Structure 1
Amino acid sequence: MKKTRLIDWVRGQSLTGEKLLLITSALLSLGFMVYFLVTLPATHASSNKVILPEAPAYSTTAKAAAVSNAASTKDDQAANAATGVSEVVTKALAFKALLTTTQQATLEQTYTTTLARKWSNLPCGATCRNGIQFSTLTTAQLAAAVEVIKAAMGTVANEGSAEFDQTRLADAYLGVNGGGTNYSAGIYFMAFLNTPSATGGWMLQFGGHHYGANIAYNQGHVVAGTPMFEALEPLTFTTDGTTYSPLTQERDAVAAMLASLTATQLASAKLTTTFSDTTMTPGESNGGNGTFPTTKVGIAVSTLTAAQKLLVLAAMKPWVQDMDDTVAANILKIYESELDSTFIAWTGSGTAGDASTFLVSNTNYARIDGPSVWIEFACQTGVIFRNQIHYHTVWRDRNRDYGKDLSLTTPLDTASVAAVAATSAASFVAGKLAPESIGALFGTGMSSSTAAASTLPLPTTLGGATVQVVDSAGTTRNGPLFYASPTQINFQVPAGTVAGTATINVILNSATVGTGTVTISNVTPGVFTYNANGQGVPAAQLLRVTASGTQTYESLAQLSGSTYVTTPIDLGATTDQVYLVAFATGLRNRTALSAVTCTIGGTNATVAYAGAQGSLVGLDQVNALIPRSLVGRGDAAVVLTVDGSAANSVTINIK
């Protein structure tokens, strides 16, 4: 039996206003933003009409459960993050309280753009840094200052406050091994630009010769963790019987990224310029004005393999993971969503496949440059240990440095990167979707406005929102969008999405505002329903075929108050064949028609067609012959199973 298409049905009828309303109502009941072109018969309006159903305001049990799960995760994240920032503020104020009035005036200053940019990669002491010097503090005061840093930083091994401590030890090592009084663990500083607060904007600065941290807070949240400068000389040293090499993770991650490139890719990524230092540190090259280059150079990450892309992301982690753990995770999600618009570049020596040959000589250099991320790694001849190199590195963020002078309010430590629930737009079962199926995302703050698609092909941005699907192979694709609102987005899973666990990121105005995971399977059937809740009357029509071959279509549902109920089905003469033509999603990738079964009231129904509907994006269709043995049955559950996966149960009524 040939599949019946909604578009054919509409075009083939002499429509009265009532029938047209019925058709529109049926489409509304699909519960997602579907649009299609309807050419009305000559007896009616001659112009083409685009029907754009409104997305229903879902309040179903299935949707509520999915959203509740996402919300609980989000609330937990928010509570943990709020506790973390509160701890930073509490410890900052406790440290300040231990200081004299004169010391407090040195520690805390009013934020200005000039003071925010007063940090350096040079051993220039207080002349190029804000705040109070560690060597002037008492033992108790210094311990309190260290507690502030611990509260602000992450817990990843050898990163965060541990790496800061080791960098200070390296400077102390330089001081007693030929560096003199310019190098010391005591020539490090802490400053508060504005008073630490859980409501206002302020910045925490700390650092010295080979370290510079600038963490911006606003309205009780972290809004930026950059600029961040980290450097080291010597690369490895031993103090009190313990050997340290605090930047090994950074160097090894970048070297592994470069070594993964083929010889041809390395040639494409290689720069002709020689760099003696990082460019995006105050007072250095690039004019010393903190202006990022407008043209990206090197090789586009979008041209790399999935495995190489993962190494690019891994190369960012040692810098980002210096931050509070929640902040770091959220920033990495943003950078991951921007990988295909990121470039990597290098210069110096190195051999494809051999990480040990990269970043080993003076002027060896590497760069990661994305829509947001900027990371540089530069090798220089040692200043004190002239027979070896030392490292200078910097992590910047084009969109977030200095919290854009405390104007940013989007938190990096909470649900600005919120948990979103991914469900089937038909069944509202959470956690499983199929390639080319229609999904619904539920969350908060996902778009800047409510918008519906009005063109084909479907757009990939609506209301400022984009849905990115990162599959198990690491490939990122944008999902076509039917509808977007702050709390719900309906989208199509991109064709080619590989089976396995996929990450779904919601991008709003270039920032990741929501993320979740979903299991991608070739088949995840879901049946649309009139009441848009995955239950009750299926979004379907009846096709009656008489003995003479005449085909007529009949409605399956009727409105009772504000709810659709099933219209009792009359199977008619014994020679009539009545087919249930149900609309679904997530089944077009079935292995064979024989792998599709349908039971109605527990009785097997012959499935004549199961596959893509053909006219509406992402919509599938199933035609099943209703068994005559069900005459007089009354309510009967319809259960569709495809390749062993059962769809949501729906209900019809048979006279």
Structure 2
Amino acid sequence: MSTDATTAGTAPSRDPRHDTVAREVAERMADAAHDWLDVLDDVRRGIAQLGAPGTDAEVERLRWFYTPTDHGGLTMHAQSPAQQDRALKLVASGLSTPGFVTVATVMGLENVLSHTEGFGPGFARERKRDPGLYYLRVFGEPGATGAWGYRFGGHHVSVNVLVVDGAVRSTTPLFLGADPATSPLLGGATLRPVGQVEDLARELVRSLDAEAAARALLLDRAPSDIIGGNRSRVGDGDELLRLAEVWRAPFPEPSEWAALVRFSDAIEDGSGLDAADHRTMALTSAPKGLPGDALDAGQREMLRAVLATYLGRVPDGLAPVYDDAALDAVHVAWAGSFEPGEPHYYRLQGPKLLVEYDNTQRGVNHAHSVWRDPGGDFGADELAAHIAAHHG
């Protein structure tokens, strides 16, 4: 996707607090990063810290995942409790309180998923679902000058941050998922870490009249996953990546990898989408679906509420602000049923924005959600400007 095409229309504005917040948050991040790195021995630090953004480490910095694969970095397992605490302090520094609580909850769901699947080994490791396999890595030297960043990820979590000259410049891609998406709690309550991300969007599309709903509906069946997958850059014509493609590398044991490929194929086959359907669902620079300017006042507030479940993942003041003019250009696209409990997918796309959500797998109890900036993911634009100014 070209930057110009995806920013057609009025771009979002900056929160008036942005510059101050971006520097305050970056300072907290740098302090937390040093606090963590300084208590690691040389071996652990060699895993935890790579070169600065824009150097030879850039290829690795741009790799991100949301499957239970090796995300790259130092795992929670490999750290003492005190080191884990400092690692999580760094993670929390780049998230809002609700964002961090959701990340921590998703990590804990690995235990619930173990219970669901009957515990035991898998994925070529002793424990198939493991809350200790979340990876943290710092790129560059945290501080007030130059470029540095960090990545935190594991199953259903990917947090990617870039800081340039003492200010936060990028917080995307930012992925949160949940498996199970809904879990029972005592007293009849339920645990749904991304429940509002789904429910608010459904409320919006179900409020549409027949004509508007038809414009929003791309397909009456849902794809098995988000379309952009874990691509470092999304582009025109990108189609669904199968599960086995969203992995760092095949397992050492060929039979185990073959089993994952079969599982991946079964998920895709179960969606019922054919080649034409995948073309319909492909990403494009020109947004598909129903534009915000076709919504009434109440529906526009619903759209703002959905956006807030993504933009609100980071500290107040960091996320872009979608005023009325920018909201006009945000398109709502849906695939699958509008009914709760049925497989579904949605996309919000507009100026500097690509949001995707799906809940289709494991009997519609396995959700994925991601916030991206097609032209600025990983701070590509900000980093390029920094390099041109200082190293050109």
What TM-score does the superposition give when structure 2 sets the normalisation length? 0.74
- How far off its partner does 1:395 sit? 1.0
Describe the superposition over 1:361-392 as per-residue Cα deviations: whole angstroms up to 9, x where unpaired.
23x1111010211111112221xxxx452111
Aligned partners of 2:198 and 2:230: how far apart in 1?
A: 22
- How far off its partner does 1:212 sit? 0.7
1:100 matched to 2:41:
yes
Partner of 2:230: 282
Higher helix share: 2
Describe the superposition over 1:469-513 as per-residue Cα deviations: whole angstroms up to 9, x where unpaired.
xxxxxxxxxxxxxxxxxxxxxxxxxxxxxxxxxxxxxxxxxxxxx
Give the SS at the match of 1:250: helix
Q: Does the 8 Å CA contact 2:22/2:169 hold for their aligned counterparts?
A: no
- How far off its partner does 1:399 sit? 3.0
Give the SS at the match of 1:88: helix
Partner of 1:389: 365
Partner of 2:218: 271
Letter in 2 for 1:397: D
Describe the superposition over 1:106-139 as per-residue Cα deviations: whole angstroms up to 9, x where unpaired.
1111234421232212112x2xx12111111100
1:247 matched to 2:194:
yes
- Equivalent in 330, 342, 348 of residue 336 of structure 2: 348
- How far off its partner does 1:240 sit? 9.7
Q: Does the 8 Å CA contact 1:201/1:217 hold for their aligned counterparts?
A: yes
Describe the superposition over 1:237-258 as per-residue Cα deviations: whole angstroms up to 9, x where unpaired.
3689996321112112211221
1:163 matched to 2:110:
no
Partner of 2:377: 401
Aligned partners of 2:337 and 2:130: how far apart in 1?
A: 33
Match runs of 1:458-469 below 5 Å:
none
Letter in 2 for 1:251: E
- Equivalent in 84, 94, 108 of residue 25 of structure 2: 84
- Equivalent in 300, 307, 320 of residue 311 of structure 2: 320
Partner of 1:175: 114
Letter in 2 for 1:201: A
Partner of 2:74: 132
- Equivalent in 189, 194, 211 of residue 157 of structure 2: 211
- Equivalent in 304, 321, 326 of residue 338 of structure 1: 326
- Equivalent in 342, 353, 363 of residue 361 of structure 1: 342
Describe the superposition over 1:59-117 as per-residue Cα deviations: whole angstroms up to 9, x where unpaired.
xxxxxxxxxxxxxx96x765554332211110111000111111111111123442123
Describe the superposition over 1:27-52 as per-residue Cα deviations: whole angstroms up to 9, x where unpaired.
xxxxxxxxxxxxxxxxxxxxxxxxxx
Aligned partners of 1:238 and 1:103: how far apart in 2?
A: 38
- Equivalent in 141, 149, 152 of residue 83 of structure 2: 141
Describe the superposition over 1:293-348 as per-residue Cα deviations: whole angstroms up to 9, x where unpaired.
223211122122122122112111111111111213xx1x1465421122111111
Q: Does the 8 Å CA contact 1:275/1:365 hold for their aligned counterparts?
A: yes
Partner of 1:535: none
Residue 304 to residue 147, structure 1, CA distance change in 2 (3 Å): same
- How far off its partner does 1:215 sit? 1.4
1:259 matched to 2:206:
yes
Describe the superposition over 1:544-600 as per-residue Cα deviations: whole angstroms up to 9, x where unpaired.
xxxxxxxxxxxxxxxxxxxxxxxxxxxxxxxxxxxxxxxxxxxxxxxxxxxxxxxxx
Q: State the 4+ residue runs in structure 1 displaced beyond 3 angstroms.
A: 76-81, 238-243, 287-292, 334-337
Give the SS at the match of 1:326: coil
Q: Does the 8 Å CA contact 1:95/1:145 hold for their aligned counterparts?
A: yes
What TM-score does the superposition give when structure 1 sets the normalisation length? 0.45
- Equivalent in 44, 50, 63 of residue 109 of structure 1: 50
Q: Does the 8 Å CA contact 2:329/2:350 hold for their aligned counterparts?
A: yes
Residue 78 to residue 370, structure 1, CA distance change in 2 (3 Å): closer
1:122 matched to 2:122:
no
Aligned partners of 1:287 and 1:391: how far apart in 2?
A: 16
Describe the superposition over 1:501-556 as per-residue Cα deviations: whole angstroms up to 9, x where unpaired.
xxxxxxxxxxxxxxxxxxxxxxxxxxxxxxxxxxxxxxxxxxxxxxxxxxxxxxxx
Partner of 1:555: none
User: What's the C-alpha RMSD, in Å, of the aligned pairs?
Assistant: 2.8
- How far off its partner does 1:261 sit? 1.1
Residue 287 to residue 248, structure 1, CA distance change in 2 (3 Å): closer
Q: Does the 8 Å CA contact 1:204/1:216 hold for their aligned counterparts?
A: yes
Higher strand share: 1
Aligned partners of 2:229 and 2:78: how far apart in 1?
A: 27
Q: Does the 8 Å CA contact 1:82/1:221 hold for their aligned counterparts?
A: yes
Q: Does the 8 Å CA contact 1:367/1:376 hold for their aligned counterparts?
A: yes
Stretches of structure 1 that go unaligned for 5 or more consecutive residues are 1-72, 351-356, 411-655
Task: Number of aligned residue pairs: give it.
Answer: 316
Letter in 2 for 1:221: A
- Equivalent in 283, 291, 309 of residue 300 of structure 2: 309
Aligned partners of 2:324 and 2:180: how far apart in 1?
A: 32
Partner of 1:150: 92
Aligned partners of 1:225 and 1:335: how far apart in 2?
A: 20
Residue 223 to residue 347, structure 1, CA distance change in 2 (3 Å): same
